[in-house]
Amino acid sequence: MLEALQQLKKLQHHPIRGVRYLSRWTEFHLRPTETEDKLSMDAQQYWNAPNPELLQPYSHWRGAGIFADDDRWLAWGRKHLELYQQFSRMMGLTTPPRRIVDWGCGGGANAVHFAPLAEAYVGIEIARPSLQECARQLEAEGFRNFEPVLINVSAPETALAQIKQKCDLFLAIGVFEVFPTPEYGLRVLRIARELLNEGGVAFIQIRFIRDSWSSRPKRFAYKRNFADNNAYRVETFWDEAEKCGFLPQAVRLVPHEKVNDRTNYAYFMLAT
């Protein structure tokens, strides 16, 4: 409550913004939370809506929304590859990953940069059009060994039965924040550990929680909150990764990401 009063005091000369802030604060603190099953169903429906032109920018499709700027689309995946390579050098990793699993591959913004490292690239999605677009972008780059895996939000573990060989690198960039709940994200983290060979690594980006209530998981109204739906405290995610059998090696915090004008990004490098 004290935080809300302090914020309203700052906004006293902006009554419309103040009312909006108070409305969001009240909803967050008083609205009943929804179950993971309900949020999962809403997420499945949202990402498979019949108006893909509204969703493509959030699935990182080339030419959509802010990624109509092709330099920005290329920069999104390139910066992730560079950070992965920095982490790898720090860890003394010299062998490129033979197989990569990209959880939430979207339109291929990361895939076109990471796939050249590997012999096979597995893309996991809940929306078939994004799998098809990722395949199209990789094929345009001359990469033919793309393995699409389609799952339902409610059953992420079904990916295990569809992926016949383990991987050396597990990627999850721009996807943990749209998961239904923090607990759901930990399910995926356990799946990642099961999918990885010994000696493999996971490169995962999350949204991290600051002191403000507005950075915490919402747990209601998925369609409206999807971009800010899920987050973790940095130390909590580190601890949970250890519980899943990982050896966390490094984390980099990016308070503000200029490429897409988003905040509170944390990138983890987890070893097996």
Residue 227: partners with Cβ closer than 8 Å, 6 or more residues away:
58, 177, 178, 262
**What is the model's pLDDT at position 19?**
65
**What is the model's pLDDT at position 213?**
87
Residue 22 reports pLDDT greater than 90: no
**Per-residue pLDDT reduced to its tens digit, 66-95:** 999 999 999 999 999 999 999 999 999 999
Give the mean model confidence (pLDDT) for residues 162-189: 97
Residue 20 reports pLDDT greater than 80: no
**Contact criterion met (CB below 8 Å) for 78 and 109:** no
Distance CA 55, CA 104 (A): 13
**What is the model's pLDDT at position 162?**
96
Residue 14 reports pLDDT greater than 70: no
Sheet holding 146-150, edge to edge: 146-150, 120-125, 99-103, 167-172, 196-207, 262-271, 247-257
Of residues 34 and 214, more confidence is placed in 34
pTM, entire model: 0.92
**What is the model's pLDDT at position 52?**
75
